[in-house]
Structure 1
Amino acid sequence: MSSSHGYDNNDASAPAAAVAAGRSVDLSEDAAYNESVASNLRMYTAWFKEADADRDGRVGGKEAASFLQKSYLPRNVLGQIWTLSDTQQNGSLTFSQFCRALVLISKIQHGQIRISELSQQRDVDHDDDEADLAMPPPLLDGKNGVKAEDLDELCMRLGIVNLSQAHGGSTSIAAGSSPGMDNPDAKGGGSRSSILSDAGKKAKMSSKSVMSISDGLRQLYMKVIKPIEESCLFPNFHNPLLRDSDFGARPLVMLLGQYSTGKTTFVKTLLDGMTYPQAQIGPEPTTDRFVAVSYGVDEQAIPGNTLCVDRTQPFTGLTKFGSSFLNKFAGATCPAKALEQMTIIDTPGVLSGDKQRIERRYDFPGVVRWFAERSDLILLMFDPFKLDISDEFRRVISACSGHDDKIRVILNKANSVSAQHLMRVYGALMWSLSRVLRSPEVPRVYCGNFSSAHDGGPGDEENGPLLQKEKEALLADLYDVPRRHVGRRVNEYIKRIRTLRIHALLVSALRDAMPSMMGVEKKRQNLIDNLEDVFLDVQRKYNLPVGDFPDIEVFRESLRGIKDFKKFPRASNSTLKAIDDVLEVEVPALLTRFGNPFQ
C-alpha cells in the first residue's frame, strides 16, 4: 500500500504482469477493477477522517471502538481485528491499518474468512493489499444506506451474536455511543488527548507527548529511572545505561550452535534464499564473527567498530568488550522481507574437541549474555551428528540462564536419519540439555531440515510430513516475534526496575554500615566478605522476594571495584516512591492507554 495513505491508485503493474505471463487481459474489467479500488479509497479516506475525531492523523482506541462497532460484530471479534491491524501496538491506527481493519470486517461479512480463521490472517502475505481494496466495503450502520435491521439479518445468517442483540434489541448505534463497552476509557485506547491517568491512580505523564508503549517507557526511563541508576552506580553491577536506540530497536533473534549445524543456512532460509553480505557456509567453522543481519534497501557489510558508534543502532553497549571483539563483529543489510520486522544475530560456531584449546581473544560467553538479555528469541541449533555439548557450548548456554522462556531448540538435518534413529537422537538431545539447563521446564524442540535446498535423506519418506509441520510451526513462531516484542520489552523493563529497587536498598545498607572515620578499609572488607548478612538483613527488613536478589558472587566481585562505599546514596523515601510509582502507576496506565479497546 503506497501513495499518501500507503496506496497507489494508478498502479498499472497488474495487467502488465499478466501480459508478461502470457495471459490475456480484459481491459474493461481492469478499468472497473481500478475504479473499484479508487472508489473504496475515497470512501475509506472519508471514514478515516470521520473516525479521527481529534484530528491527530491517527484513529485512537476509543475512536476506533466508536466507529468499528457500527459493523455489529461481537466485541471479541473486533478485538482480534484490532490486534491484527495495530501491528506495532501503538494503541492507534494509521490510515493503512484502518483500511486493514475495514477489509477484515468486510471479509467476515462477505464470508471470505470465518471468525475461527482470523488468527491465521497474521501470517498472510500482504503484497496483494490492492486486491483487498477492490472487494466490497464493509457494511456499517448508517453508511451507504445500511440499517441496523440489515446488520441483524446478516449476523443471523453468519451465526454471530451481534452487538445489538447482546444489548437487547436492534437499536442503531449512534456515533460516540459504546455498546459492548460500559466505559471504553477504562479499558484504554482513548484518543491521544486523553490522560494516561484515566485508569487507577493518577499518573503524572500525559499521553499528549506519548506516541506508543515503547515511547512511554523511554520517557519514563530517561526522566525517572536513569538518574537513579546513575547515582546508585547501577551499571557497575548490572546492565549498562539504556539509550534512546534501545527502545526503538527491532526484535532480535539470536542463533547459537556448534559449527556446521546449519545456522547461516537457516538464516538464508528465513531470507527467502538470499545470502547476506559476507555470509559463509561450509562443513568447517566458517562464520567466525557475530553478524547483525538487518533490513536495508541495498546489500551492505558494516564493520563492527562503525556499527557500535552509530547511536541510531542498539549496539553501542558492545564497546565494553573491546577492540578484540569489535574486530569480530559486523553488520549486514539486505532487502529481505523478514528483516523488515526483526534483526537476526548470526554467531560464530561454538568450538568442540581440540578446537577448544584455541582461546578466543574476547569474552565470548559475556557477549552471548549481552545479546541474550536483548533478544526476543534464542535458537540453539543441533544436528543428529553433533549432540555433544562441549565445555564452551556449556558456558554459552549458561550465559543464557534467566532467559529460559526465550530459548527454542532446533534439531536440524533431521531428515538425515531414519524414524527409529530420530527417536533415539531426540531422547539423547533432551538428556544432554537437562544436564545443562537445570530446569524442570523443557524448551520447545523443533525437528526438521531447515535449509533452503532440499537434500534427500533416509528420513524423508518416513518423516516427511512430520518434518514439514515442524518447519511450519517454527517459522510461525519466528514470524510471531514482532507481535510479542512489545510485551517482552515491558517485561524486561519491569524486571530491570525491580532489580534497581533492590540494588538501591543494598547499596544504601552498605553505606549506612560504614564508620565515619576510623577502620573504614577494614569494615569495607568485612562487608564484602560477609555480604550474605547484608542481603539477608535487607530481605527481612523490606520483606523482599529472595528470587529478585542478584547473584551474590557477581555482586561481591563488582563490589571489590568500589573503593569508597560512602559514594553510594541513601535510599530515601522519595527515591523509593519514584521507583514504585513507575511500577505501580505509570507503566500500568501506559498499558491501559495503548491496550486493546475491545478487551
Structure 2
Amino acid sequence: MSLSLTFTIAATKKLLNIYHTAIRPLEQAYKYNELRQHEVTGTYGETLALSAITSKPMVLFLGPWSVGKSSMINYLLGLHGTSQELYTGAEPTTSEYTVITHGEKFRTIEGIVMAADSSRSFSPLERFGQGFLERLVGIEMPHKLLERVTIVDTPGIIENRKQQERGYPYNEVCQWFIDRADLIFLVFDPTKLDVGGELEMLFRQMKGRESQIRLILNKADSVSTQDLMRVYGALFWSMAPLINVTEPPRVYVSSFWPQVYAVDTSQQLFRKEEISLLEDLSQVIENQMENKIAFIRQHGIRVRIHALLVDRYLQAYYDKLGWFSDPHEVFQDIADDPDKYYIFKSILVKTNVSKFDLPDKEAYQDFFGVNPISSFKQLSSHCSWTGGCLLEKLEKVISHELPALLSSINPGCEEKPKNRWRKQ
C-alpha cells in the first residue's frame, strides 16, 4: 500500500471520528436531518455528511442520447477494443444507470443486488422502486483509476419523452446522483443542441453546484472549424438562461475517443482541450480528502447554526410563556414572526456566523410543524462535568481540529485517466 493511500485512510478515520463524536450528537439532539431544506439535507432530508466521508469521488455523466457519454467513459478507462467496454451506437443505447466501481475481477451486478447490500453507498436507491432498480446496473473491474473514483453513466435525455413513460421518477433519481457527484460532465454533440424541458429541469436541479459542472462539446472533429465556432456560440446562447452565475462553467471542446482526429479540423486545439480536461479530472481525484474535510466543516457550521437557532427559539418561548398562556399560541406567534423576537438577528452576533449561512425562516415553520418546541432542550442542558458541552466540542472542531487536519493533507493521485497523450 502506498504512503499517500495509507495517509488518506488515516485521515478518513480521523474525519469519521470527528463526525461521530462532535457533529453527530448535535445533529441528533436538534433533529438537524429533519430540516426540510434541500441544500442542507439533500433529497428526502437524508444527510450527505456520512456518505461524503466514506465514499470515493463520483464523476457523473449527463446529456442527450448518443452524444458520446459511454464512448468517453470507455476512452478515460482505456476500455476501447476490450471485452469490458460499454456498448455504444448511434441510436439511444444507454437506458440504464451504470455505476462503474473497482473490483478484484470484472463482473456486472444487478440493481436489486446493489440496493439490497447495505454496505454499498447505493443501497438508498431502493426507495425509487422496482422500476428503477431494473434500470440500474453495477460494473466492477480491476482498474487503478477506479480505486480512487466512481464513474456513473446515465440514460440520455430524450426531450420528447414524458417522465412517466420512463417508469420511475427520473428527476428524483438524477437529483440523488447530482447531490453526491464531485464532478458533473454535461456532454453535448455539435449536431444536438436542443434544449427542452428535461434539460431545463436538470439545470434547476444542479443550481448551487455550478462549480462542479463541466460542459463537454464532444465529437468536435465531426464539423468544420467554422461550423464549430458557430456551435460553440450557440451552446453558450442556449445554456446562458439555464446557468445564472457570474462565471460560467468550463467548456471543453474535443473528440473523446481513440480514433484519429478528422483532417482539416482544429487538431491542436482538441489535443490541448483533452489534456486540460484530464488534468481537471485528476485534480478532483487528488483533492478528494481536502474536499471531504471542507464539506464536513461546512456541514458542522450548519449544524451549529441550527442548534443555536433552536436554542434561541426555546429561549424566546420560555421568556414569553406565562402561567395562563396557551403554549401552542405562544410558540405559533414566535414561529410566524421570528424577527419580532430577534431570533435570527441574535445569531449573527455570535462569532463565526455569517448571514449568508442562515437557513430560510420558512424552513423553521415546517421544522417546528412536525417537531414540537417542547421536545428540545436548551444548549446549556447538553453539558456534563465529564463530557463537556456539545456546542463547545463542535466549535473546537470547526475552529481548530478540521483546519489542522486540512493543513496536514499531502495529496497525490498515482493513477491518471488513460488517453492518447498520456501513456501509462
TM above 0.5 = yes
* 1:548 partner amino acid: D
SS at match of 1:435: coil
Letter in 1 for 2:67: T
For the residue of structure 1 that corresponds to 2:152, the secondary structure is strand
* 1:268 aligns to 2:74 (yes or no): yes
In 2, Cα distance between the equivalents of 1:521 and 1:278? 62
Partners of 1:348 and 1:304 in 2: CA distance? 15
Task: Tell me if structure 1 keeps the 8 A contact 2:4–2:410.
Answer: no
Asked if the contact 1:366–1:399 (Cα under 8 Å) also holds between the matched residues in 2, the reply is no
Q: 3-state SS of the aligned residue for 2:264? A: helix
Offset at 1:447?
A: 0.3
The answer to whether 1:548 aligns with 2:357 is: yes
Aligned to 1:377: 183
Q: Residue deviations 1:351-375, cap 9 Å, x none?
A: 31x2136455544444333333332
Partner residue of 2:297 out of 463, 485, 494: 494
Query: Could you say what secondary structure the match of 2:257 adopts?
Result: coil
Q: For the structure 1 residues 537 and 412, does the alpha-carbon distance in structure 2 shift closer, same or farther, using more than 3 Å as the test?
A: same
- Residue 466 of structure 1 aligns to a residue whose secondary structure is helix
Measure how far apart 1:400 and its partner are: 2.0
1:559 aligned onto 2:367: yes
| CA distance in structure 2 between the aligned counterparts of 1:542 and 1:295, rounded to whole angstroms | 45
Aligned partner of 1:295 among 74, 93, 102: 102
Which position in structure 2 is the counterpart of 1:219? 17
- Taking the aligned partners of 2:129 and 2:76, their CA distance within structure 1 comes to 31
RMSD between aligned residues: 3.2
**What residue identity is the alignment partner of 1:305?**
I
Q: Tell me how far 1:439 sits from its aligned partner.
A: 0.5
Moved more, 284-293 or 363-372: 363-372
Residue matched to 1:588:
403
Relative contact order, higher structure (CA 8 A, sep 6+): 2
Per-residue deviation, 1:454 = 4.9
Counterpart residue type for residue 229 of structure 1: E
Match in the other structure for 1:481: 284
The answer for the alignment partner of 2:265 in structure 1 is 462
- Structure showing greater Rg: 1
Deviation at 1:295, TM superposition (A): 1.6
Distance in 2 between the 1:364 and 1:526 partners? Answer: 40
Tell me, yes or no, if the aligned pair for 1:215 and 1:247 is still in contact at 8 Å. Answer: no
The code of the aligned residue for 2:350 comes to: Y
Distance 1:231 1:326 in 2: 34
1:450 aligned counterpart, secondary structure: coil
- Normalised to the residue count of structure 1, the TM-score between the two structures is 0.58
Q: Distance between the aligned counterparts of 2:202 and 2:18, measured in 1?
A: 33
Name the CA shift for 1:412/1:560 in 2 (closer, same or farther; >3 Å).
Answer: farther
Gap change, CA 1:537 and 1:481, over 3 Å in 2? closer
Query: Using a 3 Å threshold, how does the CA distance of structure 1 residues 247 and 540 change in structure 2: closer, same or farther?
Result: closer
Q: CA deviation at 1:585?
A: 1.7
Measure, in 2, the Cα distance between the counterparts of 1:236 and 1:219. 23
Question: Which residue is 2:422 aligned to?
Answer: none
Tell whether the 8 Å contact from 1:290 to 1:329 is kept in structure 2 after alignment.
yes
Identity of aligned residues (%): 31
Checking the alignment, whether the CA contact within 8 Å between 1:539 and 1:545 is kept in structure 2 is no
Q: In the superposition, relative to structure 1, how do residues 591 and 277 fare at CA in structure 2: closer, same or farther (>3 Å)?
A: same
> In structure 2, which of residues 300, 304, 311 is the aligned counterpart of residue 508 of structure 1?
311
SS at match of 1:88: helix
Corresponding residue number in structure 2 for 1:90: 7
Cα 1:589–1:540 change in 2 (3 A) is closer
Aligned equivalent of 1:229: 27
Q: Shift in Å at residue 556 of structure 1?
A: 5.2
Larger deviation: 477-486 or 566-575?
A: 566-575
Counterparts of 1:98-497 in structure 2, within 5 Å, are 212-237=10-35, 238-239=41-42, 240-241=46-47, 246-274=52-80, 279-352=86-159, 354-356=160-162, 358=164, 360=166, 362-454=168-260, 456=262, 460-497=263-300
Query: In the comparison of the two structures, how many residue pairs are matched?
Result: 389
User: 1:267-322, CA deviations, whole angstroms, 9 ceiling, x for partnerless residues?
Assistant: 11112125787944334433223221012232222223332343432224444545
Long gaps (5+) in structure 1: 1-5, 7-84, 92-210
Counterpart contact for 1:412–1:448, Cα < 8 Å: yes
Q: 1:576 to 1:245 in 2, by over 3 A?
A: closer
Q: Residues of 2 paired with 1:287 and 1:529: CA distance?
A: 49
